Amino acid sequence: MQLWVKTSLLLCAYGFFRELRPSEPFVVEFLSGEWRNITVDQVYREIYPWGTYSYLSLLILVFLITDMLRYKPIIIMSALVGIVLWSLLLWTTSIQAIICVQICYGFFMASEVAYLCFIYAKVDKEQYQIVTGQTRSAILAGRFLSAVLAQLLYSYSVMNVRELNYISFGSQFVSLAFGLALPPVGASLYFYSTVDSRKVLAVRNDPKLGNQTELKIDNTDVELEPRFSCHGALQLFWIHFKMSYSNKIVIQWSFWWALAMCGFLQVQSYVQLLWQQIDQDKENVYNGAAEGILTLSGALSAFAAGYLNSKQFARWDLWILSGCSILEGGLILWSALTDNVWIAYVMYILFGTVYYFMITMASASVAKQLHDDSFAFIFGINTLVALVFQTILTVVLVSEQGFQLNQRTHYQVLSGYFIVLGVIYATTSVVQIVYNKIKMR
């Protein structure tokens, strides 16, 4: 078996078991259930915001040390933090312990970058497309099985919402074993780069190059033995940042990417609380089924996005962004106003499906404009901006320092957020059309 195939299989197994967390579709029911003296309102205002703050504060640190430590240590640490996280969920009861859980969860989510970037440091570029599909599929397979397993075990009373955490707890040990089995990485993108940043900068500033987005570097001329260099890493960070965000298309798509991701994370983080408010008698608790269907439909929509006619899409991209954003706003608004939890489930699934389709198109559109090695960095920057906006929304809308909106009003505001985002892109499209017509005269 070729080394890259073995590495990809080990990493996929790690990712699959990392995502095998059937407790998550019912986490609100568990936290506010009989095992703790915690109310739903406390979960909403005092506990959940800590996850957002933690995710934001740890993302930059994790991204930097992931590259500095060359991926594998962070992958192992992520599994260890997962074990600690579910230990606290299972064997503690205080609010302080659950706040610690949220902080651990922030690191757990931030460290996903190590999983996503590890494979690119271990395989040749010829295999990038296939290993990307494999690692992403492993994540989706783990999430889908988690959701289905959670719903079946809960609906047939095989396990209660607390006992589901034992499966999540055990799967982290399995992911740890696969993480330990991964081969070490010799070079990384920045701190142990095989590219001389000074030569990249020289190529970047060559006036003969013309279009910056078409920058290609011959690695046979600039490739080095991987050696730690903080100065070289900072140079490459700045070069990739400047090259990427001087491109109008990258800015256009990154702006939507960051704001849409912010809105999606808000919707996803608090949706179980909305469902519980709609169905207070808990007669139709099918959170796992909703998450499972969303995972499947999201995967299919992302797959379909890969086969969309890119030329036609580029022609109407601003209008598509606008229409999809307004549609997402309408779906969230319907969820916020309905008294039928089944409608809320369907609206959430449709909302997520549209989001996964558009975020795939956004990722592809940005990636086409970037230097080969800078996508992970730009992905991190866009995610960081999304988390900054999400933190602002959390403080303003949810926290005790803000407006303290209830769940329904919170979702009504989020629907307006997406509608405004759509209007911004529609206005931009109209301005662009008018400008082009004036220019042609």
Asked if 434 and 331 sit in the same domain, the reply is yes
Asked if 39 and 110 sit in the same domain, the reply is yes
What tokens appear for 426 in the block?
Answer: 């529609």
Instruction: Tell me which residue of 35, 60, 120, 131 sits closest to 373, measured CA to CA.
Output: 120
Each residue's pLDDT tens digit, 245-288? 998 889 999 999 999 999 999 999 999 999 999 998 877 799 99
| Residue 139, domain extent | 1-181
Give the residues of the chain that fall short of pLDDT 70: 1, 125, 128-129, 194-225, 306, 309-310, 312, 372-373
Between CA 229 and CA 235 the distance in angstroms is 10
Asked if 6 and 88 sit in the same domain, the reply is yes
Burial (Cβ within 10 Å: 0-12, 13-18, ≥19) of residue 42: middle
Each residue's pLDDT tens digit, 60-72? 888 888 888 888 9
In a domain, 364, yes or no: yes
Domain final position from 135, 156, 181: 181
pLDDT at 208: 46
In a domain, 410, yes or no: yes
Place of tokens 């003969």: 208
Asked if 248 and 122 sit in the same domain, the reply is no
Asked if 166 and 261 sit in the same domain, the reply is no
Q: Give the number of other Cβ atoms within 10 Å of residue 269's Cβ.
A: 17
Give every CB contact of residue 77 below 8 A, 6+ residues apart in sequence: 111
pLDDT at 327: 97
Domain count, the chain: 2
Between CA 285 and CA 276 the distance in angstroms is 8
Instruction: Tell me which residue of 89, 98, 81, 102 sits closest to 179, measured CA to CA.
Output: 81
pLDDT at 146: 96
Asked if 60 and 158 sit in the same domain, the reply is yes
Between CA 332 and CA 348 the distance in angstroms is 7
Q: For residue 38, is it left (φ>0), alpha (ψ between -120 and 50) or beta?
A: beta
pLDDT at 219: 45
In a domain, 201, yes or no: no
Asked if 265 and 391 sit in the same domain, the reply is yes
> What is the DSSP-derived secondary structure letter of residue 190?
S
pLDDT at 280: 84
Which CATH number do you get for residue 394? 1.20.1250.20
Asked if 168 and 260 sit in the same domain, the reply is no
Asked if 265 and 160 sit in the same domain, the reply is no
CA distances to 52, 94, 381 from 386, in Å: 11, 31, 9
pLDDT at 220: 45
In a domain, 135, yes or no: yes
In a domain, 232, yes or no: no
Between CA 141 and CA 295 the distance in angstroms is 8
Domain final position from 160, 181, 202: 181
Instruction: Tell me which residue of 21, 31, 71, 299 sits closest to 179, measured CA to CA.
Output: 71
DSSP notation for 149-176 = HHHHHHHTTSS-TTTHHHHHHHHHHHHH
CB 225 within 8 A of CB 387: no
CB 215 within 8 A of CB 203: yes
Between CA 192 and CA 229 the distance in angstroms is 7
DSSP notation for 228-282 = --HHHHHHHHHHHHHHHHTSHHHHHHHHHHHHHHHHHHHHHHHHHHHHHHHTTT-
In a domain, 295, yes or no: yes
Asked if 25 and 170 sit in the same domain, the reply is yes
CA distances to 245, 268, 293, 331 from 342, in Å: 42, 17, 13, 13
Domain final position from 150, 181, 212: 181
Asked if 160 and 266 sit in the same domain, the reply is no
- pTM for the model stands at 0.87
> What is the DSSP-derived secondary structure letter of residue 35?
T
What tokens appear for 160 in the block?
Answer: 């209660």
CB 64 within 8 A of CB 113: no
Q: What are phi and psi of 49, to 5 degrees?
A: -55, -30
Tell me the angle at which helices 248-278 and 407-440 cross, rounded to the nearest 10 degrees.
160
Asked if 276 and 419 sit in the same domain, the reply is yes
Between CA 60 and CA 105 the distance in angstroms is 15
In a domain, 227, yes or no: no
In a domain, 322, yes or no: yes
Between CA 180 and CA 302 the distance in angstroms is 31
